[in-house]
Structure 1
Amino acid sequence: MEKRVLLVMQDGRVVMGILVGWDQKSNIILSECIERRFSLESGAVDTSLGVYMVKGDQICLVGELDTGVDDATQWSEIRAEPLPALRYGET
């Protein structure tokens, strides 16, 4: 609790925030949440979401962030394709 985490969702979105709570179905509540969008043209762009609740069945990955390393200014330099959506059952 109260740790900064990063979530990667099934639809390819990347959100970060402070873990406020979770339940038995892995639903997660984040405060001070931002969405980081990647692009080949403009680099990574952060959008503030505020308090955010994510359904557990939409989450692919949860990881704790090192607050001393994650700096939004360095991410604006990175150019990358957005993550594709994850679709179960496709080969």
Structure 2
Amino acid sequence: MSFGNASLCDEVDKKLIVVLRDGKKFIGVMRTFDQFANIILQDTIERIYVGDKYSDKHLGVFFIRGDTVVILGEIDPDKEVKEKKLTKVSWEEINLAQQAEREKLQQMEQTKRRIMTESGLTIDSILNLDDF
């Protein structure tokens, strides 16, 4: 097994899912790549998952910078068609659900910070370990 850009040769002309640092997921057929692991996807869709729902946005030919890629993997077309545990919804509906999920996570984070502060724990007190 080879590592690095050389292993991308095996993925040319295959349907891949690419996950970026910001969490976005793109699915398409990889047509080419370069020495920086920049890749070109054809017939690309952006897919968003929220709970048991998902939605796709068609983008066509798409360029992805190699330094933004977290992971990529081949999609098995047979399993992709058979796996129907998710419900496809409109792009607008999935964006609303994604926004609600973000707001819920922000509320949880604010609650954690409030509880920590009330307990006398702050990020500053944790990071200043020299005081002990």
TM-score (norm 1): 0.76
User: What amino acid is the match of 1:11?
Assistant: D
- Is it true that 1:67 corresponds to 2:74 in the alignment? no
Give the equivalent residue in structure 2 for 1:32.
43
* Alpha carbons of structure 1 residues 54 and 68: separation in structure 2 relative to 1, 3 Å: same
- Is it true that 1:10 corresponds to 2:21 in the alignment? yes
Would you identify which runs of 4 or more consecutive aligned residues in structure 1 move more than 4 Å?
none
Higher relative contact order (CA 8 A, sep 6+): 1
Tell me, which stretches of 5 or more residues in structure 1 are unaligned? 85-91
User: What amino acid is the match of 2:78?
Assistant: G
Question: Alignment identity in percent?
Answer: 29
1:61-91 per-residue CA deviation (whole Å, 9 max, x = no partner) reads: 010110111139826428xx86x9xxxxxxx
Give the equivalent residue in structure 1 for 2:87.
77
Larger relative strand fraction = 1
Structure number with greater Rg is 2
CA distance in 2, matches of 1:74, 1:3: 22
In the alignment, is the contact (CA less than 8 A) between 1:6 and 1:15 conserved in 2?
yes
Larger relative helix fraction = 2
Tell me, which stretches of 5 or more residues in structure 2 are unaligned? 1-11, 89-96, 103-132
* Alpha carbons of structure 1 residues 36 and 77: separation in structure 2 relative to 1, 3 Å: same
